[in-house]
Each structure stands twice: as C-alpha cells, then as structure tokens.
Structure 1
C-alpha cells in the first residue's frame, strides 16, 4: 500500500472510532483533522466533502466488520457451527467502545433520502444477506430442513443480535449473552432435521 493509501486508511480508522461515539452526523473534517493530528486541508484532500467522508467511513466500517466478524466465521466448519460463530463474533463486535456504527447510521439516516440513506440500507441488507448465506450452509450440510426459510432465519438471528445489544449495552443486564444464546439455540432447534 502506498503512503497516501495508508494515510487515508489511518484517517478512516480514526473516523470510524469517532463516529461510534458521535454518529456520522457529528463527524466533521475539522474534528477528524484535530483527532488525527492533521490539517483540515490535509483531510479535505482525501475526501473533498463531509458527505464523501461519511460514505468512506461507512465503507471502512463495513471492511472492519468483514475482517472481525464475517471472515473468522467463514473459517469455521459449514453449517450450524458457522452460524454460531457469526453470532459469537457479532456479539463481540457490539462491544466496541462507542457502540456499533451500523446501528448509529440506521438511527441517523432511516428517515432521510440520499446517498447516506442508500448506503445505510445497502449495509443493512448486506448484514441480513450474510446471515442468510451462512444459514444456507446448515441446509446444505443437512443440519436444517430443506424447506427452511433462510430469510426468516436471518431476520430472527438479527433480531436476537439487536436484542442482545440493547440488553447488554443499554440496559446492562448481566445475563444478556445467556439469554441471547438461549434464543439462538431455540431458533436452531426449530429448524433441525
């Protein structure tokens, strides 16, 4: 990677860290420049506008999610084991200081129009699709019935994950993980052959 690309990636890593606390709307070229110990013009040279910065931040967040959740889960054996892994790594993802940028973006841009809304929706659909693809390996491995509605499984798994995030981060219930795993295990058992 060239120096300019490394600098851009370092800036975006800082942007993601900041946006987890302040949301993407709170992210500005000026605040990012200060946090990255750069000039505003140096940051501006990489992004040209606040919206371009926000979109790049969303993209970098997705890359980090793939590296921390999807790739490690795909390294596990196909089937229920892989589905369990995606839930485990996703729960760990929610423990990032500041929270989950996917959730922050959904809250910020759900009622808006434009590129930020469209990217948020694409990201959310991508999350559901990832779960459905992993769940499909449980069908192909003969662990789930052939008539399993993969999108329904994906929606329920995402619901379990969102509930876990709420119960652990917002309400700080000490048994949030155990309850999430109990719900996940009931879901898996309901689709087993």
Structure 2
C-alpha cells in the first residue's frame, strides 16, 4: 500500500511538472509578443484547456506567474546564447560566438516576438517591484557575462589591453537590440546583417590580430 501511495504521489508530481512546463512554454511565447502584463492565469487555462483551479494551484498569483515566466525565459536564453560559446576556449573566437549566438537566437525567433528580454523590459524599466528586479538582474547578468568574455579575451592577448570593455559591450548590445527591434517591426532580417557587420568592425578594431575574425564586408555568419 505504501509503495502504491508513493507511486501515485510521484505520478501526480510528474503530471504537475508537465502541466507547469506546458503553461510556461505558452507564457514565454505570449509575453514575448504581448508583454508580461498580457498574461493571466485564467487566459492560459482557457487557451490550454486546463482547469482554472489547477493553474491557480501551480501559480498562486499573476506576479508569481510573471516571475516564473522570466525564470523560464532565462533558462531558454542560457541554452541558446550563453552555453554555445563555451565550446570554444576563452578569446576572440568565444566573444564572436556570443554575438552570433545572440543574433541567431533573435533572428531564428526562439521566442515569436524576438528577444524576450528586449520585449518585456520596456514594460518594467520605470516600475518598481519584484518583476522589475528580476528583469534588471537578468539584463545585468547578460552584460556582466559579455564583459567577462571581453576580459578573458584581453587576458589571453587577443583583445587589446587598452580597450574599454564595458564600452565595447554597450555598443555590441546596442547593435544587437536595434537589429532585433527593427526586424520585428518591419519583418526584415536584413537588419541582422547590418548589426553583424557593425559588430565585426568594432571587434576587428579591438583585436590584436583582426584576421582572427571575418571581414566586415562579408558578415553573414548568422543566417
């Protein structure tokens, strides 16, 4: 009897986990298009044909759902953008891979609305509260990751020591996010080629040996 009870309990937990994953998949996709304010527990229950009480049992409030959605989006972002560059050793190649991974992530519409964090940050940049704090922390982590990648490239002698790393990162992120915004707005992937060309030009200027990077005139490594 005890073994059966444990088995039944494990089954309920797994079904609950599957339902949670299903809800969060829909919520990250919805938020990337309509924003986190567009989420509601009742709407998700209706769209996924789930019981409203079951959804409320998994996410006690709209804020809980929004925070869980941000965490789910972070996990997807890490999978597509942060982890692939670690296939390469520290240096200019890894830094370039970070940029191309981000551009592929946005261009490939991992989230249907383009970059999830670009889409939802404008909603909360001037607000206070836990959702703002979660998004601000995620953006700070991304910037910090890029800055560390630049410093690693400087330590191995592939980016010039005098390069201002935070400024370089600021410019790269600006190019990435503008490409994302313009592509989503106009339905034109050509903005990613423009961003790629701009990033290559900036990195070649920062590199000890620019030949380690593609020519700025032939940027399409992110199709």
What TM-score do you get using the length of structure 2 for normalisation?
0.80
SS in 1 for 2:95: helix
Name the larger-Rg structure.
Answer: 2
Match of residue 36, structure 2, among 5, 24, 40 = 24
CA contact (8 A) 1:131 1:157 kept: no
Which of 126, 131, 150 is the matching residue for 2:165?
Answer: 150
Contact 2:150 2:165 in 1 (8 A): yes
Aligned to 1:62: 74
Q: SS state of the match for residue 38, structure 1?
A: coil
Deviates more, 1:170-179 or 1:181-190: 170-179
Mapped contact 2:45–2:52 kept (Cα < 8 A): yes
Counterpart of 1:40 (choices 52, 65, 80) is: 52
Distance in 1 of aligned mates of 2:93 and 2:134 = 30
1:46-98 CA distance string (max 9 Å, x none): 11000000011001000100011111122223212111211112112223222
Q: Which runs of 4+ in 1 moved over 2 A?
A: 4-7, 166-169, 171-175
Q: Assess, with a 3 A threshold, how the Cα gap between structure 1 residues 176 and 32 changes in structure 2: closer, same or farther.
A: same
Superimposed CA distance per residue, residues 81-119 of structure 1 (whole angstroms, 9 cap, x where no aligned partner): 111211112112223222222012211111111111111
Distance in 2 of aligned mates of 1:151 and 1:165: 21
Which whole-Å CA distance do the structure 2 matches of 1:23 and 1:135 have between them? 32
Counterpart CA distance in 2 for 1:174 and 1:55 is 31
Match of 2:131? 116
Matching residue of 2:145: 130
The residue aligned with 1:11 is 23
Partner of 1:91: 103
Farther-moved stretch of structure 1 (51-60 vs 68-77)? 68-77
Number of residues paired by the alignment? 193
Q: Which 5+ residue runs of structure 2 have no aligned equivalent?
A: 1-9, 209-223
Matched with 2:218 is none
Which one is further off, 16-25 or 141-150? 141-150
- 2:88 matched to 1:106? no
CA distance in 1 between counterparts of 2:122 and 2:136 reads 11
Looking at structure 2, the residues matched to 144 and 86 of structure 1 have their Cα atoms a distance apart, in angstroms, of 15
Shift of 1:175: 3.0
What is the rounded CA distance, in whole Å, between the counterparts of 1:129 and 1:104 in structure 2? 20
Contact persistence 1:21–1:98 (CA under 8 A): yes
Q: 1:144: Cα distance to partner?
A: 0.6
Using the size of structure 1 for normalisation, the TM-score is: 0.92
